[in-house]
Amino acid sequence: MTAAPRHARNRPLGRRLAWIPILGLGLAACAGSVGPNDKLGWIEAGSPKRLEVDQAVYRHSVYFETDRAELTGAQRDRLLAFLDSVQPSGQDLLRIEGHADERATDLYNLELASRRIQAVEEFLREHGHGGIEVTTAAYGEAVPAVEGGAPDAWQRNRRAELILERYLVTLPACPDWSRRSGTDFANLPHSNQGCATESNLGLMIAEPGDLVRGRGLGPADGTHQAEAIVRYRTDKVKQPNVEEVAN
Instruction: Print pLDDT tens along the chain (247 aa).
Output: 445 444 444 444 444 444 444 444 444 444 444 444 444 444 454 567 889 999 999 999 999 999 999 999 999 999 999 999 999 988 899 999 999 999 999 999 999 999 999 999 999 999 999 888 899 999 999 999 999 889 999 999 999 999 999 999 999 989 888 887 777 777 777 888 889 999 999 999 888 888 888 877 666 667 777 888 888 889 888 777 767 655 5
Domain span at 87: 56-168
228 inside domain: no
83 inside domain: yes
pLDDT tens-digit series, residues 161-181: 999 999 999 999 898 888 877
99 inside domain: yes
pTM: 0.62
14 inside domain: no
51 inside domain: no
Q: State the CATH number of the domain containing residue 129.
A: 3.30.1330.60
Q: State the DSSP string of 179-240.
A: S-SS--TT-PPPTTTTHHHHHHHHHH-S-TTHHHH-------HHHHHHHHHHHHHTT-PPPP
131 inside domain: yes
CA-atom Rg of the chain in angstroms? 35
Q: What is residue 94's three-state secondary structure?
A: strand
93 inside domain: yes
The structural domain count of the chain equals 1
Give residue 235's pLDDT.
Answer: 86
214 inside domain: no
